[in-house]
Amino acid sequence: MSLSDKPHGNHHATGFQLVCFSAVLFSTAGVFTKGVAADAWSIIFWRGVVAALFALFLLVLRGKLASEIRQFRGPAVLATILMASGTAAFVPAFKLTTMANVALIYASAPFFAALLGWLLLRERPSLSILLGSLAALTGVIIIFGGTSTQGDLWGNLLAGWMTVVMAGITLVYRRWPETPTTLPGAASAILLCPIAAGLGAPAAITMAEFIILIGFGISFAIAFILLSAGAKHLPPAETALLSALETPLAPIWGIVFFSEMPTRQTMIGGALIMVAVFGAYGRQWHMRRKQPQPT
């Protein structure tokens, strides 16, 4: 390997590590949510306060607050609304159904993004993505078929909505790549705070729960930053594959911390979704690896 190849290899290794660590942090969302007795809206309130303050602090620290404010236009407003909607579904979903169901349904987000991109941006997906989308959708339907209670049903529906919303956010940034990322995240948290304060009881949480929710907000802000930084050094297909590591981890945390055993339908549907993810994006990654690297 020549000396000129070495920095590229180092950048790739750094990106690999950052995205993997972000996936581990993202996989703990259900642990934080289920680990406190507080209602979903109280969790949304305190997680939002901490995440917004942390994100704004980072923007000020990096000297990027002014530039993100200048770039905060229509697409950023749309991203903010979508992020708020996704968060409002994300936390209650974990309260109502298992961590495995939420994580596995959410794993189908790349395929929903591809389908929405086809419908709205006229970006025709490859055959492997189309087949993967069909398989992932089938897996989601199987998971829904295993619903045993009304709570499970609502939790699965909220997880499904969160997945579609996150796919929509992906499209916003693909259509308008100059849209800022950090400020809309902070703004979405601030937008939800008065709603969460009215619907929940954030003042009633215990000090122990407050400390846990501080950890929740900070860990998710760090995970988002690590993912954004790592993705700059990796091909999109490899980023998607590594991000999918959170999907098998979340059910493991559910079993370890809360004795949540996935149902047979969840395991079958989840296996189908994971095969779709690794089949579609693994093929893209393999094809890219076979291409000659620039010298």
Answer yes or no: is pLDDT of 280 > 80: no
Residue 203 has a pLDDT of 93
Task: Provide the Cα torsion 39, 25, 85, 235; round to 10°.
Answer: -170
pLDDT digits (tens, 9 = 90+) for 152-181: 889 999 999 998 998 888 888 888 888 898
In which band, very low, low, confident or very high, does the pLDDT at 289 lie, cut at 50, 70 and 90? Answer: low
User: Tell me, what's the pLDDT at 1?
Assistant: 40
Residue written as token pair 């909220």: 158
Residue 50: band (very low, low, confident or very high) from pLDDT cuts 50, 70, 90: very high
pLDDT of residue 5: 43
Q: What are the extents of the domains in the chain?
A: 32-288
Q: Which tens digit of pLDDT belongs to each residue from 218-247? A: 888 888 788 877 877 776 666 776 777 888
Higher pLDDT, 106 or 207: 207
Comparing 224 with 70, the larger pLDDT belongs to: 70
Q: How many CA atoms lie less than 13 Å away from 76 in the CB half-sphere?
A: 17
**What is the chain's mean pLDDT, rounded?**
85
Mean pLDDT of 21-46: 92
Q: Provide the pLDDT for residue 287.
A: 67
Question: What pLDDT score does 159 carry?
Answer: 93
In this structure, of 125-134, 177-186, 198-207, the range with the lowest mean pLDDT score is 125-134
Q: According to the model, what pLDDT value does residue 75 have?
A: 94
Q: What is the distance between the alpha carbons of residues 274 and 281, in angstroms, rounded to a whole number?
A: 11
Above pLDDT 70, what percent of the chain? 90
pLDDT of residue 157: 94
